Amino acid sequence: MGLSLKIKLTALTTLLVLLMVLAISTLYLSHLTRQALREVKSRGDYVAEEIYHQASTLLSQTRMPVGSDPSDFQALRSFVQDQFAKGAGLNSLLESAIGYSPYVYYAAITDTRRQVLVHTEPGEIGQVLPQAPPFDQLLHAGLVRQLRVIYGPSKVYEVVLPLEIGGKAFGDVRVGVSTLFLDHEITPDLRADLTLSIAIIILTTLSAGLLSYRLLRPLETISRSVDLLARGQYSEPVRLKRSDEWGMLSSKLNLLGEQMRGEKAAFVQLKENLDQLFSKLSDGLLLFERQDRLVLATPAAARLLGCRAEAILHRQAQEVFSANNPLHDLLRQAFASRQSTPWRTLDLGGDPPARLAVNVRFISEQGEAMGCLITLRDASMRAQLEDQIDVTTKLAALGRLTSGVAHEVKNPLNAMVLQLELLKSKLTDQSERVGPHLEILSNEIQRLDRVVKTFLDFTRPVELRPIPTNIEDLVREVFLLAEPHARKNNVRLVFEREGVLPTINVDRDLMKQALLNLVLNGCQAMPAGGQLKVKPQTDGRYMSLEVSDQGVGIPPEARQKIFSLFYTTKPGGSGIGLAMAFRVLQLHNGFIDFSSEVQRGTTFRVSIPATS
């Protein structure tokens, strides 16, 4: 989890103050250290100058013995050393130099070869004084080295003042300065400086935290509002009453929320329109962007591919078309070659056999690939529609033919009936001998008359009287009419309802007759009994009824002629029921189709426009 802006700002402010305090403290500590070292050096210089002055005064008051050669360094050295040893003031000064300052470790006068002439420790006289670094080297060193020397092991540095006799270098006044007690000089001030720095850092951190809270508190309100905007909740404005930059930002966010709310409403409306448009398309559309990623899949395309649109969206073409079948093989080859493919019909197999028409078009603009559009079309459904149109055409032609024939036959039949009745009246005395023959003749004429009436009823123009009809009530009425026949065949009638069913406008009597024909056919197809189920469904465009039985099924060779007039596979059947149902559905701008398996049953699907 990342740090908040408030914490970052507080930490940054504290860090800057810490750096400033460290810089100032370093400068102060450097000044403090140098000041202490200068103080030590000034004391060493003072001691050296006093010794130099005392030695110079002592030498100026004496003369070498007569006959001595001043140019003889050894004789001169012996004379000077003897005078220094006799000088009570010089020796007293050397003894007091140690007590003058705790930093003075020793004081001595040496010749040019560092051989001691006089020393605060008498035992060192005549010895060669050990080498010691000059105090100026420590004074001009860096702060770190100075602190390391001060707080490290004790070391001795020298303050040196040259001593001349007769204008010539004779030796040096050397004051040894120890660093043993320097830390006691600096530590109190250093501790005070450190305490002050820590107090400043703590106070600055608290001040930075409080200032960050006061300055960034409006940011929390704005952040919550931005989160709501990101989740699509545009109704809640940013409530921030300020006139500074935060107030201006909140006003702009509110304006942005209003614009996004309007854009979202327009987008939702556009999406609903597109979804409605795509749901009504019978052809399936698949749109891929330039990286071959699927960005659009219509419901028809998902249905033809046998998957859900959500499962394939935003996937690569190789993932979408990964199955081993002719359709996927063709589309993989098209994407591999990047070549558009004209309409091609593929046999996908199955029962019933499925046929699919495919078109692939790669889209480019100014030579740059932009995407790919794939169109899928159910060729099997198109073939079924062509078959239905063919059946409709044949029925219409047959209707026109039978209508004319029926009218021509009707009149001779009426004349034959009248002549038969006259013949019966004239042969009353021979009724026993010719009566049975006349009765047969009369029955056949009546049967022929019923056939002619059936022709006329089927071909006669029908005037629809649509009324709002509750589909469940209609099915219940059909069940009531078919109940005696179903009970006789030991068939159980079931209505399987799912959700709320819409009301449709149909000719109630004609639709009842069509459904009754289907239900009776289903009962007759189950001589050993079973279940006949009616299941309603709706997709927004059509209200469908599935009438399913568990009967003997329809043989494959009879399926193409099942809706033909007078065609029947049942002994004693008229062959009119399915043809009549087909015609009723046509009159309502609907359609009827079926699926059947031998010895498994048949399902008739009646579809009526929901707005009919």
- DSSP secondary structure of 453-503: HHHHHHHS-----EEEEEHHHHHHHHHHHHHHHHHHTTEEEEE---SPPPE
Poorest-confidence range of 170-174, 241-245, 437-441? 241-245
Instruction: For residues 527 and 529, give the distance between their C-alpha atoms in angstroms, rounded to a whole number.
Output: 6
- The stretch 22-37 carries a mean pLDDT of 80
User: For the domain 466-609, what is the CATH superfamily, name and number?
Assistant: Histidine kinase-like ATPase, C-terminal domain (3.30.565.10)
Would you say domain 383-459 falls under CATH 1.10.287?
yes
What is each CA distance from 157 to 179, 240, 609, in whole angstroms? 8, 70, 114
- The stretch 365-376 carries a mean pLDDT of 86
H/E stretch holding 4 reads none
3-state secondary structure of 149: helix
Is the pLDDT at 191 greater than 70, yes or no?
yes
Is the pLDDT at 14 greater than 90, yes or no?
no
Give the pLDDT band of residue 612 (cuts 50, 70, 90).
very low
Q: What is the pLDDT of residues 233-275, one digit of tens each?
A: 655 665 656 666 666 666 776 777 677 777 777 767 766 766 6
What is each CA distance from 148 to 115, 143, 151, 197, in whole angstroms? 31, 8, 5, 22
- The stretch 493-514 carries a mean pLDDT of 85
Task: Check residue 566 and give its pLDDT.
Answer: 64
CATH of span 277-379? 3.30.450.20
Task: Check residue 143 and give its pLDDT.
Answer: 82
Instruction: For residues 210 and 232, give the distance between their C-alpha atoms in angstroms, rounded to a whole number.
Output: 34
Instruction: For residues 255 and 229, give the distance between their C-alpha atoms in angstroms, rounded to a whole number.
Output: 12
Would you say domain 5-193 falls under CATH 3.30.450.20?
yes
Cα 202–chain centre separation? 43
Average pLDDT, the chain: 78
Do residues 489 and 526 touch, judged by C-beta distance below 8 A? yes
Task: Give the number of residues written for the chain.
Answer: 612
Q: What angle do CA 138, 139, 143 make, to 5 degrees?
A: 80
User: What global pTM score does this model have?
Assistant: 0.38
What is each CA distance from 6 to 2, 208, 226, 250, 428, in whole angstroms? 12, 9, 18, 19, 123
Instruction: For residues 144 and 509, give the distance between their C-alpha atoms in angstroms, rounded to a whole number.
Output: 112
- Tracing tokens 């149902």 back to the chain, one arrives at 581
Residue spans of the domains in the chain: they are 5-193, 277-379, 383-459, 466-609
Q: Six-digit token pair at 80?
A: 């000077």
Give the pLDDT band of residue 603 (cuts 50, 70, 90).
very high
More confident residue, 536 or 201: 536
Evaluate whether 5-193 and 277-379 have a shared fold: yes
Q: Six-digit token pair at 145?
A: 């080295």
Q: What angle do CA 41, 102, 174 make, to 5 degrees?
A: 50
Please report, rounded to a whole number, the percentage of residues in the chain having pLDDT higher than 70: 76
Q: What is the pLDDT of residues 285-301, one digit of tens each?
A: 888 998 889 988 888 88
Highest mean pLDDT among 28-32, 223-227, 272-276, 505-509: 505-509
- The stretch 469-474 carries a mean pLDDT of 88
Instruction: For residues 545 and 506, give the distance between their C-alpha atoms in angstroms, rounded to a whole number.
Output: 14
Residue 362 CB contacts under 8 Å (≥ 6 apart), including other chains: 338, 339, 340, 369, 371, 372
Q: What is the pLDDT of residues 216-225, one digit of tens each?
A: 666 666 666 6
Cα 336–chain centre separation? 29
Q: What is the pLDDT of residues 540-575, one digit of tens each?
A: 778 889 999 988 888 888 777 777 666 666 665 566
Residue 325's nearest CA partner among 299, 355, 301 is 355
Do residues 492 and 530 touch, judged by C-beta distance below 8 A? yes
Strand pairing class (104-111; 168-178): antiparallel
Highest mean pLDDT among 1-5, 33-37, 272-276, 486-490: 486-490
